[in-house]
Amino acid sequence: MNGYLFLENGMKFEGQLTTSSALEQFEGEVVFYTGMTGYQEVLTDPSYKDQIVVFTYPLIGNYGINKDDFESKKPHVAGVIVLECKNTTFHYEAKYSLKEYLEKWDIPLLSHVDTRSVVKQIRNHGTMKGYIGNVNTETIQTDSIEKFPVSEVSTKQQVSYGRGTKHIVLFDFGCKKSIIESLVERDCTVTVVPYQTTYEEVCELQPDGIVLSNGPGDPKQLKEYIPMIKKTISHFPTLAICLGHQLVALAFGADTKKLRFGHRGANQPVYDAKKGKVFITSQNHSYVVDESSLKETSLKARFKNVNDHSIEGIVHQSLPIVSVQFHPEAHPGPIDSSWIFDDFIDSLSNVRREKQYA
């Protein structure tokens, strides 16, 4: 059937709608993803909670959906926009077509859309709300109620993975499975805890280190938990990723701001000031740390985006805390920055030695 994407600036795009829902509209924040592959990981990444994702690559779905590449148990996107969707698959690992998978979860798929034009609207006017509907109307209906997506995607109870020699407590703000797997592969036991876990509860677990995960939404929505986060990461070696990185900045007095249209793709170049090298990263975020706000803090920038010079990672000047805006676990994307995990694991051993001989 005919379907439509309506943007809050008044623009309308027509396509072919695939959905079994009786609802006439699906609302979300409209963003675009530039990777050629990795749509399965994007759909199931909790950081995309309540977002309508426009895929810029013209053909999506050609290798189907398999049983291994999920980043969580279900998709979190509010809708999918593509130019062309492949409904038949020939990859030996495919279990579903993209269309079948989205229909299973009642997520609208709007195809045959001029995705280049949609992306130009977002680039020129910034990320905006929109909705997918099957009724042609001039009225833009958007929900004015502010959502708190972290509470919807975080674990509700402690869960442990692996049986390694190093114990990591991972704060789940919307964690990707690949982050946990990257730590388990490096001889770690990972205890995943809810986002509102207290410092005292963390101490009872006796971790060697802390990881603050990725997640959806504005980091300032978590402002009531910032003092607890600061107390916790001030006492343990910490690696923070994406939303976790932004929370580290807020915890030590820096500020965050929203980008015009964010970074979402597997081809973002990042410069490491410490190593003097550039590597390609996978990213998914709307918010960044405001560089000017670092001046009066104990933090300093280490990583920067080569394209727009935004902050891609910071370090604490006296505590073993490193945070990155990009995704070192990739999935999807290049593994150029996977060494971030190795450096973090090494820092745990260094802290152990310092405590042993103190």
Neighbours of 128 (CB within 10 A): 16
Tell me the residue length of the chain: 358
Contact call for residues 319 and 301 (beta carbons, < 8 A)? no
What distance in Å separates the CA atoms of residue 147 and residue 217, rounded to the nearest whole number? 9
Q: CA–CA separation, 284 vs 215, rounded Å?
A: 10
Report the run of H or E that residue 269 belongs to, with start and end.
Answer: strand 256-272
| Helices 243-251 & 226-233 angle (0-180, nearest 10) | 90
- Give the CA dihedral 169, 171, 175, 176, nearest 10 degrees: -20
Whether 175 is catalytic:
no
Which two three-digit tokens encode residue 87? Answer: 């409904």
Contact 142, 113 (CB under 8 A): no
Beta carbons within 10 angstroms of residue 137's beta carbon = 12
Range 253-257 contact pairs with CB under 8 angstroms and sequence separation of 24 or more:
253/293, 253/296, 253/297, 254/289, 254/290, 254/293, 254/294, 254/297, 254/299, 254/314, 255/289, 255/290, 255/293, 256/218, 256/219, 256/220, 256/287, 256/288, 256/289, 256/290, 257/287, 257/288, 257/290
- Asked about 329 being catalytic, the answer comes back as yes
Q: Which one is catalytic: 242, 285, 312, 316?
A: 242
- Tokens 């030590």 locate to 252
Residue 90 has phi, psi (to 5 degrees) of -130, 5
Q: Which two tokens stand for residue 91?
A: 């990859």
Nearest residue to 149 via CA among 78, 54, 227, 197: 78
The catalytic residue among 245, 285, 327, 331 is 327
Sole residue written with tokens 């405001």: 290
Q: Which residues are catalytic?
A: 242, 327, 329
